[in-house]
Amino acid sequence: MNKFFLLLLASLFASVFVNAQDKKHELSLSTGILTTSQILDTYPNLMSKIETDNPYLRENATLRGNLNLTYRYTVNEKWTLNLASSYDHSSAEVHVGGSKVGESKRHMVTLAPEVSYYYLRHEKFQMYSGLGLGYTYGFGEMIPDPGNKMMLEYVDEKIGHINFQLNAIGLRYGKRIAGFTEVGFGYKGVANIGMSYQF
């Protein structure tokens, strides 16, 4: 009987050890440029067509790197299921009838489930592609120039739209702690670079 319990305990410890070695979980933090939200901010004519309720144009937008936090769960050697969040901030001049009347600031958060496929998965190097589909929501604040009353009725704006991410290629180098870069298009940007931790 004692031998049976010893074997059972040994099996349990071996199972825990194997699962720990598999490193099924991963957290990553990164920043990207030219996200879909930033691109919409860069083209004011496109924004005016989409936001038909707002008779203004956002011009001369300031682009900054966004912030991405992603959790990955390894299903098997080839696939991971991910949950991604992305934060974007932008500012731009507000023009009405060709004249600058104030400034617009926007804060946007995207939440999206993702899936990744791994072409190579070595101990120190991984290469993969991925796809995500989610929703972006946020708010905008319009600050009128001193003495300008034209924008007072358009002080706040709500932002909400479907968003996506297509990772054409991703490269990760390192073991438990590693650096990575991704090239694609969507809420994480055209180019995305960061660090990740597997556990």
pLDDT for res 87: 96
Of the candidates 117, 24, 121, 27, which has an alpha carbon nearest to the alpha carbon of residue 74?
Answer: 24
Strand partners, 72: 26, 82
Both structure tokens of 193: 């670079």
DSSP letters spanning 80-104 = EEEEEEEEEEEEEEEEETTEEEEEE
- pLDDT tens, residue by residue, 54-89: 567 777 878 789 999 999 999 999 999 999 999 998
- pLDDT tens, residue by residue, 137-191: 998 887 888 876 665 555 567 888 999 999 999 999 999 999 999 999 999 999 9
pLDDT for res 91: 86
pLDDT for res 58: 76
Residue 109 has pLDDT above 80, yes or no: yes
How large is the average pLDDT for residues 84-99? 85
Residue 131 has pLDDT above 70, yes or no: yes
Residue 50 has pLDDT above 50, yes or no: no
The CATH architecture that domain 23-198 belongs to is Beta Barrel (2.40)
Residue 122 has pLDDT above 80, yes or no: yes
Q: What are the residue boundaries of the structural domains of the chain, listed by start?
A: 23-198
Burial class (CB in 10 A: 0-12, 13-18, 19+), 66: buried
